[in-house]
Amino acid sequence: MGCYSSRKNNDYVLIIGSPGSGKTNLYKKLKNNDQFSFVDIPAMDLEESIENREKFINDFQNICENKINKKRQIVSIVVSVKFERTDLMKRSLLSVIKYFHRYLDLIIIAVTHFDQSEDQDEDKNNLKQQLKFILKNNEDRIVFSQNSNQNDNQMCENLLKIIENVKQNKQEPFTLKDTIFENIDETQQQNHLRDLFQGFNNQQ
């Protein structure tokens, strides 16, 4: 169902990623902070099978409906991606972010396993240039995390500052409305999926 760190009256931040993206290690580094309650969403792969897709949608609906209320909101979505070939990273990110296109202003990209980089300064600059189009050319919402055996204190501090900035500047609160995760009947859901994939294919 997913793990979450509970802090009284703190807003929620979702950590989402495809299988093997390093999101759980990222969650472990962030869960004890005092500013936000982080939620480790189960690995997201809606294209593997209909059964897995329906299970994820149902689980995600339950998680979000339990979190969203008048006092506490979901203020940001951190999408994790493992450091590897840039084209594979783009594919992994787009496979997740396309379902949250309405909330691009809430999304932060976290590149994990970045200690595998042989030239971190150069790779940071290159990846920011290559990935910023996903975030409306805002490279400030891209962070880099070391592997699980690293403390990553500086990354955590930077990420919390970015989340706070996203929270202050968000245009609308996160809800499931007008996404494929909205609780609607099966016909409406199929129409949402059809429109989503048509729009995505037109952009390629």
**CATH number for the domain that contains residue 71:** 3.40.50.300
Whether residue 113 lies inside any domain: the answer is yes
Q: How confident is the model at residue 182 (pLDDT cuts 50, 70, 90)?
A: confident
Q: How confident is the model at residue 192 (pLDDT cuts 50, 70, 90)?
A: low
Whether residue 18 lies inside any domain: the answer is yes
pLDDT mean over 71-95: 94
* Range with lowest mean pLDDT among 48-52, 66-70, 171-175: 66-70
Residue 155: its pLDDT value, please? 92
Q: How far apart are CA 41 and CA 43, in angstroms?
A: 6
Q: How confident is the model at residue 111 (pLDDT cuts 50, 70, 90)?
A: very high
Rg, C-alpha atoms of the chain:
16
Long-range contacts of 174-182 (CB under 8 A, 24+ apart): 174/64, 174/68, 174/73, 174/74, 174/75, 174/77, 174/103, 174/106, 175/68, 176/61, 176/64, 176/65, 178/102, 179/99, 179/100, 179/102, 180/57, 180/99, 181/57, 181/60, 181/61, 181/64, 181/99
Whether residue 41 lies inside any domain: the answer is yes
Whether residue 200 lies inside any domain: the answer is no
pLDDT mean over 88-100: 94
Q: How confident is the model at residue 70 (pLDDT cuts 50, 70, 90)?
A: low
Structural domain of 78: 3-172
pLDDT per position as a tens digit, 141-160: 999 998 766 678 889 999 99
Whether residue 190 lies inside any domain: the answer is no
pLDDT, averaged across the chain: 86
Q: How confident is the model at residue 67 (pLDDT cuts 50, 70, 90)?
A: confident
Whether residue 203 lies inside any domain: the answer is no
Residue 175: its pLDDT value, please? 87
Residue 150: its pLDDT value, please? 64
User: How many domains does the chain contain in total?
Assistant: 1
Residue 131: its pLDDT value, please? 96
Whether residue 142 lies inside any domain: the answer is yes
Looking at the predicted structure, is the pLDDT value of residue 128 above 90? yes
Whether residue 103 lies inside any domain: the answer is yes
Q: How confident is the model at residue 96 (pLDDT cuts 50, 70, 90)?
A: very high
pLDDT mean over 123-138: 95
